[in-house]
Amino acid sequence: MRSVDVDALKKKLGTGGNEVVGYSELLQACQSIGVAKTVEEAKEVAKVFDEAGAIFIFRDKVHLHPNKVLDMVRRAVPLALMPEDDPQKEELKKLQAKQEEIDVLAHKQVRNILWGGLGLLLAQASLFFRLTFWEFSWDVMEPITFFTTSSGLIVGYAYFLYTSKDPSYQDLMKRLFLSRQRKLIKRHNFDVERFKELQKKCILPLDSRISD
């Protein structure tokens, strides 16, 4: 098989921007450019071109650009069915490692915020204790502690109105984590959409059947 024959064949069949032609058109083109004299010879030539990867014959259709067909198949096939050395798998592993790093850092920052909140509460309790028994008296501090407690109730009610959820430390921790995570994702230029796309490709269509 000569490359000039392949180029001439593709040029003739690809007139008008065609990428897929009929099998009969391929046989006629093989005869018209002189690489085959009979239909049987044209079939043999077409088989050689197909096995060499110059074209891709599927049923009664001939794809003139096999590489494009391969790219479409690669995009459609889940990553779990692809070879271990596939570049997309390596990309997914790197993104997963980056996400885990961001999550760990976000958890660490949330824990620091919560410990800081505990420190503020202890400082407030110590201050009230000092003012009650050393600087002033309970008669003076009672209204202050009352309004401080009322302020906490108002903040909790406002939190409920804003989130439509009961105020709890668990929910607060979750919201703090999501907030820190979003900021870290933006700071580290983490491509969330690409990560989700690769994750979807890793889902096997038969996973549900296998688990059953």
From residue 175, alpha-carbon distances to 107, 117, 159, 165 in Å are: 11, 15, 12, 12
Length of the chain: 212
The CATH number of 3-76, from 3.30.70, 1.10.1660, 1.10.10, 1.20.1440, is 1.10.10
pLDDT for residue 38: 82
Instruction: Please name every residue paired with 56 in a beta bridge, in sequence order, or none if there are none.
Output: 63
> What is the pTM for the complete model shown?
0.51
Q: Where in the chain is the domain with CATH 1.10.10?
A: 3-76
Helix 3-13 crosses helix 23-32 at what angle (to 10 degrees)? 120
Residues 6 or more apart in contact with residue 202 via CB below 8 angstroms: 78, 79, 80, 92
From residue 32, alpha-carbon distances to 9, 26, 47 in Å are: 9, 10, 17
Instruction: Please name every residue paired with 58 in a beta bridge, in sequence order, or none if there are none.
Output: 61
pLDDT for residue 142: 84
Average pLDDT per block of 10 residues along the chain, 212 residues long: 59 67 79 77 80 77 76 60 66 86 91 90 88 84 84 83 79 87 90 82 46 36
